[in-house]
Chain A
Amino acid sequence: MSRVLTQAGRTGTGRVGAALAALVILFAALWMGAAIGETAIPFKTVAQTVANRLWNAGYPLAPIDEGIIWSYRLSRAVVAASCGAALALSGAVLQSLLRNPLADPYILGISAGASTGAVSVAILGVGAGMLTLPLGAFIGALVAFVLVSLLAVKAGRGTAAIILAGVAGSQLFNALTSFIVTKAATAEQARGIMFWLLGNLSGVRWPDAWLAVPATLLGLVVCLWHARPLDAFTFGSESAASLGISVRRTYFALVGVSAMMTAVMVSIVGSIGFVGLVIPHAARMLVGVRHGVLLPAAALIGAVFMILADILSRVLIPGQVLPIGVITALVGAPAFALILGQRRDRA
């Protein structure tokens, strides 16, 4: 099946068809995200609300339903979708660049670094108003990546070395975050931040979506632009260089865009684990390893997965909202274990 799909991805009509199908799936998922919740709202009402808000269609609706759908659930679903897509893209790109099936922003400590950066801005006031929360998170993410990379090179560059360096980096930055929160935050702030750190979509509104969606689209375009260079990394960076790829430029562009996407998502919803790790593997199983098809597939699956995980987090315990990070970890950790086991079989 993967061969059929990859061949389809090469012809013009196949590409247009696949893109349309992806959009239909994405909109269906967003629709579900808006309709399902503690109070179920009919799908028709969702459609009418969207029509009212976007085109002033003037359907008579209960203001409370319309309010829940538009201001609460739909913005939340849109942010969840971009967050899932962005994390899945970051994971797919990092796995291919580092040739490491266990790489993802969370495991490499990039999310932890972004959290520290965000907390430094929010609580310590680093940057004295010059730095916004997402920018602080971006700087933290880059610092974490550089630190983890240096550590990994010292430790011998192997698959295990990168992961262990990531573990060390995560621990360090999580400790820094806790330190900052304990030392400087009020009890109220501390509770809010701890909840946010677990990954949380509760406070998300439309302004957040206007940051998350462009960041994700920009990331998608940059990653797709590098689809062929990423293919060329299949046999390592020297092989990529001998195939005519400028390795350093590719590294900078893709690591930069991964850190940017991770940072934006962390600054909005906190650090959410395992999406970036597991979704790219699912995408590879479905559509194969060619990045021109793999990257959009990973983005779509990530988006749909996050919307569904968000729905689950809202309905699993009646009257309670679970942090979404709990759901992704509950699904992701066993999948992580499976990938580990598979690697052993092959080696």
Chain B
Amino acid sequence: MTLSASRVSWSAGGVDILKEVSLTVETGEFLGIIGPNGSGKTSLMSLISGIRKPKRGEVLLDGFPIGTLGRRTVAQRLALVEQQAETGERITARQAVELGRTPYLGTLSPWSPEDDEIVEAALENVDMAHLADRLWHTLSGGERQRLHIARALAQQSKILLLDEPTNHLDIGHQISLLDLVRRQDLTVVAALHDLNHAAMFCDRIAVMQAGRLVALGRPREVLTVERIRTVFGIEVEVEHDFDGSCSIRYRARRPRPLAAIAAAGV
């Protein structure tokens, strides 16, 4: 299972959103995509998932242009978890996960006991089996996101694409969700907001800026003080641990001006 993008570009409404991005996803790795809002992370995810067609360049899945493979084949090979997909239907947690079997079910082929087993296993994997019969709208944001992961697992694809999966979750749920994804024996591509999460969980990190890929490599190579300053416009300190990992501490851009301190003191 290989996934790569070669010189893909995409624009919407006359605005270039992605410019000649090339990227090869290594089998079994956890690849993080970071970058400021509007840098093209979500667009890149929808191109490499095959949902949108690039204006130029191509995305290859197992050596074939992804547009030529057919949606069902693609869905059997890669699963996508979008940002906070919601529904107003009175659907149960289990039914949400059962949707993951869609790429394997024909119009006339019936649901089989094997499908039930796969769904059950996916629910247990994300620790949601005990809530399987609860209705969707009664579940918390963290629980819903776990179910989206379970749906993707039920899809039994080898590649998992996650678009900002931890948005709107509290820090405990953010870490446990990424931990859950990391535990799977899958190739993962995840657009992430938090640089420390990227540093903690990713094997490699791709940095997007204004529609271009500006860096790609191991966290300690990519997450440097200078790069974070130019891409995100913030001052940080990067600490390197002896085991090769790194963590980032954010600093206020500059000390508060004296005038402001004086004004506050009055």
Most buried by A among B72, B82, B89: B89
List the one stretch of B8-16, B105-113, B210-218, B242-250 in contact with chain A. Answer: B105-113
Question: Are A242 and B82 closer than 8 Å at their CB atoms?
Answer: yes
Q: A101: nearest residue on chain B (CB-CB)?
A: B88
Binds A, one of B96-104, B172-180, B224-232: B96-104
Tier of interface size on chain A? 20 to 34
- Measured between alpha carbons, how far is A3 from B92 in the docked complex, in Å? 10
Least CB distance from B136 to A in Å reads 9
The stretch of A54-62, A130-138, A174-182, A225-233 that contacts the partner chain: A225-233
Among listed A71-79, A118-126, A243-251, interface-contacting one:
A243-251
- Contact A238–B86 (Cβ < 8 Å): no
Q: Give B14-50 interface residues, CB cut-off 8 Å to A.
A: 46, 49
Interface positions, chain A 65-118, Cβ under 8 Å from B, are 99, 101
- B45 → chain A closest CB, angstroms: 10
Q: Does B79 contact A (CB under 8 A)?
A: yes
Across the interface, name the chain A residue whose C-beta is closest to B73.
A244
Q: Are B87 and A99 in contact (CB under 8 A)?
A: yes
Q: Which residues of A contact B74 (CB under 8 A)?
A: 244
In the complex, which residues 239-281 of chain A have their Cβ closer than 8 Å to any Cβ of chain B?
A: 239, 241-246
Specify which chain A residues have a CB less than 8 angstroms from the CB of B87 in the assembled complex. Answer: 99, 234-236
A346 interface hit (Cβ, 8 Å): yes
A244 touches B102 (CB 8 A): yes
Q: Let me know if B131 is at the binding interface, CB within 8 A.
A: no
Task: Tell me which of B86, B90, B107, B137 contacts A284 (CB under 8 A).
Answer: B90
Distance, CA A62 to CA B101, complexed state (A): 60
Among candidates A225, A241, A246, residue contacting B107 with C-beta atoms closer than 8 Å: A225
Nearest CB in chain A: distance from B52 CB, A = 9
- A to B CB contacts below 8 Å, 13 in the list: A228-B102, A232-B102, A234-B89, A236-B85, A238-B80, A239-B80, A242-B75, A242-B82, A243-B102, A244-B75, A245-B102, A289-B91, A290-B95
Q: Least Cβ distance of B131 to chain A in Å?
A: 15
A residues less than 8 Å from B99 (CB atoms): 231-232, 234-235, 243
How far apart are A87's CB and chain B's nearest CB, in angstroms?
A: 21
A12 at the interface (CB under 8 A from B): yes
Give the docked Cα–Cα distance between A132 and B247 (Å): 73
A242 lies within 8 A of B111 (CB): no
A10 interface residue (CB < 8 Å to B): yes
Return B133 CB to nearest CB of chain A, in Å.
Answer: 7
Looking at chain B, what size class is its interface with the partner chain?
Answer: 20 to 34
The residues of A that contact B86 with a CB separation of less than 8 Å are 235
Q: How far is the CB of A262 from chain B (nearest CB, A)?
A: 23
Q: Which of B82, B89, B107, B133 contacts A3 (CB 8 A)?
A: B133
User: Are the C-beta atoms of B137 and A238 separated by less than 8 Å?
Assistant: no
The answer to whether B102 and A231 have CB atoms under 8 Å apart is yes
Kindly report which residue of chain B lies nearest to residue A241, judged by CB atoms.
B51
Q: Which residues of A contact B145 (CB under 8 A)?
A: none
Q: Are A10 and B46 in contact (CB under 8 A)?
A: no
Residues of A within 8 A of B196 (CB): none
**Residues of chain A contacted by B156 (CB below 8 angstroms):** none
Task: Please give, as numbers and ranges, the residues of chain B lying within 8 Å of A245 by CB-CB distance.
Answer: 71, 102
Most A Cβ at <10 Å: residue of B90, B133, B155: B90
A290, B103: Cα distance in complex, Å: 16
Q: How far is the CA of A235 from the CA of B100 in the complex (A)?
A: 12
CB distance from B116 to the nearest CB of A (A): 10
Which of B72, B74, B75 has its CB near the most chain A CB atoms (within 10 A)? B75
Which residues from B are CB-within-8-Å of A232?
A: 99, 102
With A234-B87, A238-B51, A243-B103 as contacts: A10 and B111 at CB distance below 8 Å: yes
Residues from chain A with a CB closer than 8 A to the CB of B75 are 242-244
Question: Which one of B51, B76, B110, B155 lies within 8 Å of A10 (CB-CB)?
Answer: B110
Contact B107 A12 (CB under 8 A): no
Binary interface encoding of chain A residues 287-325 relative to chain B, with 1 for a CB under 8 A from any of its CBs, else 0: 011100000000000000000000000000000000000
For the complex formed, measure the closest distance between the CB of A227 and the CB atoms of chain B, giving whole angstroms: 8
- The residue in B79, B80, B96, B99 that gathers the most chain A C-beta atoms within 10 A of its C-beta is B99
